[in-house]
């Protein structure tokens, strides 16, 4: 319980840092993208800014990892049979592991369904197995991967936070390598904690795994004994029936048309200025505000003059979800896009309850936002920037 509370506190701290950095990265990515789009293809500086954009993408991936550790990464789980994913991971492992490590598998065909995101299940297995590889790389050994259906009772789950008894899918990864020392085993899920050399790992792998599993209301355990290796057990709740996914109407593509009026709200002045410039370069007419109260007053005074509203989630005075509901009360048909890196309150699953029509996840490029605007406009026109 103490370990879980400590990780929760660290997750809150790192999540806050990641969100602040997301805002900074949004500005760097946005202006870099505008600079590239304003240059001719043969401009000598274009390749330098293109490389800068590549680096921001890597930074974006790192933030995603941090938010996953801190249980603050938005995902859209779907009914999933993981057998093909496990098989794919094992295929990749066999191609990359040294020949002195033998990989064995026990993956029956009759496995229960879980609600999960395929890429994250892939991450769980790859990160744990990569750790096992490091434990056996010097002397070789055996890696056993087993998947099975289990049922956890209340006596067992009561020892863990936010875990309910019932059917689970259990993934067991066992290696015969050197064990994890007793004095550090309580720290292996801490972010940036690693026993590897400086150039061999970031220390984020297992903390990311922990974040993914906790997001799914599952649990992860580890047992390690000298001379017997280490076993990681990952439990993810099973679902009894497969829900039918909502069908999203197809977007009708059409040429970009100028003159659409957008109301943009974000309390970060740098982001507000960037998005106003970026959207105007694509032909939009933009009114941008850093104060959600003033933005609401502007909408109230002329609700029919806007074609779409784009708002940040976390703002002082009026948050994005409350602002969206107030605007929808005035004009129910206005499309509203929520910009966020994370929100416990508003998710893709319950967005309609708050009047949200679409999400754009920070950090994002101008073209990402333009495409989403196009998808929520009544005629569904494709508003992609022509590069």
pLDDT in tens, 10-40: 656 666 676 677 778 888 888 888 888 888 8
pLDDT at 90: 92
Among 174-188, 248-262, 310-324, 341-355, which stretch is predicted with the lowest mean pLDDT? 248-262
Between the two ends of the chain, the Cα-to-Cα distance in Å is 53
Q: pLDDT, tens digit, for every residue of 81-105?
A: 999 999 988 988 888 888 899 999 9
Residue 385 lies in a domain: no
Residues 217, 82 within the same domain: yes
pLDDT at 232: 94
Which CATH number does the domain housing residue 303 bear? 3.40.50.2300
Residues 86, 229 within the same domain: yes
Q: Mean pLDDT over residues 130-157, rounded?
A: 90
Please report how many Cα atoms fall inside a 13 Å half-sphere around the Cα of residue 275, on the Cβ side.
32
pLDDT at 371: 86
Which CATH number does the domain housing residue 194 bear? 3.30.565.10
pLDDT at 57: 76
Residue 292 lies in a domain: yes
pLDDT at 311: 94
Count up the domains in the chain and report the number.
Answer: 3
Residue 244 lies in a domain: no
Q: pLDDT, tens digit, for every residue of 239-254?
A: 875 544 444 433 433 3
Phi then psi dihedrals of residue 315, to 5 deg: -140, 150
pLDDT: which is higher, 274 or 349: 274
pTM higher than 0.75: no
Residues 333, 301 within the same domain: yes
Q: Mean pLDDT over residues 116-128, rounded?
A: 87
Among 101-115, 173-187, 224-238, which stretch is predicted with the lowest mean pLDDT? 173-187
pLDDT exceeds 70 at position 72: no
Residues 203, 158 within the same domain: yes
Here the tokens at position 366 are 């101008």
Residue 172 lies in a domain: yes
pLDDT band per the 50, 70, 90 thresholds, residue 272: very high
Containing domain of residue 11, as a range?
Answer: 2-69
Q: Which residues touch 212 (CB under 8 Å, ≥6 apart)? A: 68, 120, 123, 124
For the chain, the three-class secondary structure string (H helix, E strand, C coil) is CHHHHHHHHHHHHHHHHHHHHHHHHHHHHHHHHHHHHHCCCCCCCHHHHHHHHHHHHHHHHHHHHHHHHCCCCCCCCEEECCHHHHHHHHHHHHHHCCCCEEEEEECCCCCCEEEECHHHHHHHHHHHHHHHHHHHCCCCEEEEEEEEEEEECHHHHCCCCCCCCEEEEEEEEEECCCCCCCCCHHHCCCCCCCCCCCCCCCCCHHHHHHHHHHHCCCEEEEEEECCCEEEEEEEEEEECCCCCCCCCCCCCCCCCCCCCEEEEECCCHHHHHHHHHHHHHCCCEEEEECCHHHHHHHHHHCHHHCCEEEEECCCCCCCHHHHHHHHHHHCCCCCEEEEECCCCCCCCCCHHHHCCCEEEECCCCHHHHHHHHHHHCCCCCCCCCCC
Q: Mean pLDDT over residues 272-277, rounded?
A: 92
pLDDT exceeds 50 at position 280: yes
Residues 325, 198 within the same domain: no
Residues 94, 28 within the same domain: no
Q: Give the span between the Cα atoms of 377 and 386, in whole angstroms.
A: 19
The fraction of the chain above a pLDDT of 70, given in percent, is: 78
Residue 256 lies in a domain: no
Residues 292, 228 within the same domain: no
Residues 87, 231 within the same domain: yes
Q: Mean pLDDT over residues 258-278, rounded?
A: 89
Domain boundary among 19, 38, 69: 69
pLDDT band per the 50, 70, 90 thresholds, residue 340: confident
Residues 224, 332 within the same domain: no
Q: What is the mean pLDDT of the chain?
A: 80
Residues 111, 161 within the same domain: yes
Among 12-26, 92-106, 169-183, 322-336, which stretch is predicted with the lowest mean pLDDT? 12-26
Residues 84, 186 within the same domain: yes
Residues 233, 130 within the same domain: yes
Most confident of 59-68, 93-102, 250-259, 360-369: 93-102
Residue 228 lies in a domain: yes
The fraction of the chain above a pLDDT of 90, given in percent, is: 32
Residue 255 lies in a domain: no
pLDDT at 291: 95
Residue 245 lies in a domain: no
pLDDT exceeds 80 at position 8: no
Which CATH number does the domain housing residue 45 bear? 1.10.287.130
């Amino acid at each position: 319980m103490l370990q879980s509370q400590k990780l929760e506190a660290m997750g809150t701290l790192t999540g806050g840092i990641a969100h602040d950095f997301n805002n900074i990265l949004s500005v760097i990515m946005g202006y870099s993208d505008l600079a590239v789009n304003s240059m001719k293809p043969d401009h000598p500086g274009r390749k330098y800014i293109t490389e800068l954009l590549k680096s921001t993408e890597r930074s974006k991936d790192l933030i995603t990892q941090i938010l996953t550790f801190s249980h603050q990464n938005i995902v859209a789980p779907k009914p999933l049979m993981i057998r093909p994913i496990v098989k794919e991971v094992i295929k990749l492992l066999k191609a990359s592991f040294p020949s002195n490590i033998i990989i064995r598998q026990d993956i029956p065909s009759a496995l229960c369904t879980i609600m999960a995101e395929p890429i994250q299940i892939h991450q769980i297995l790859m990160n744990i197995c990569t750790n096992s590889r490091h434990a056996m790389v010097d002397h070789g050994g055996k890696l056993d991967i087993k998947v099975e259906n289990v049922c956890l009772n209340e006596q067992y789950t009561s020892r863990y936070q936010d875990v309910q008894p019932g059917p689970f899918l259990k993934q067991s990864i066992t290696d015969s390598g050197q064990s994890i020392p007793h004095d550090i085993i309580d720290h292996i899920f801490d972010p940036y904690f690693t026993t590897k050399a400086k150039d061999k790992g970031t220390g984020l792998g297992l903390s990311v795994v922990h974040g993914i599993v906790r997001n799914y209301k599952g649990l992860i355990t580890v047992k390690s004994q000298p001379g017997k290796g280490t076993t990681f057990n990952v439990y993810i709740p099973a679902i009894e029936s497969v829900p039918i996914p909502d069908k999203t109407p197809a977007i009708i593509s059409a040429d970009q048309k100028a003159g659409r009026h957008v109301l943009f709200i974000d309390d970060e002045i740098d982001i507000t200025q960037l998005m106003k410039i970026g959207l105007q370069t694509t032909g939009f007419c933009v009114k941008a505000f850093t104060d959600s109260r003033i933005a609401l007053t502007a909408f109230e005074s002329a609700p029919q003059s806007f074609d779409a509203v784009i708002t940040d989630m976390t703002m002082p005075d009026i948050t994005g979800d409350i602002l969206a509901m107030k605007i929808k009360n005035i004009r129910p048909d206005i499309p509203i896009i929520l910009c966020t890196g994370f929100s416990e309150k508003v998710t893709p699953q319950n967005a309609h309850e708050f009047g949200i029509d679409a999400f754009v996840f920070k950090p994002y490029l101008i073209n990402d936002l333009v495409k989403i605007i196009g998808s929520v406009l009544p005629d569904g026109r494709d508003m992609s920037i022509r590069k």
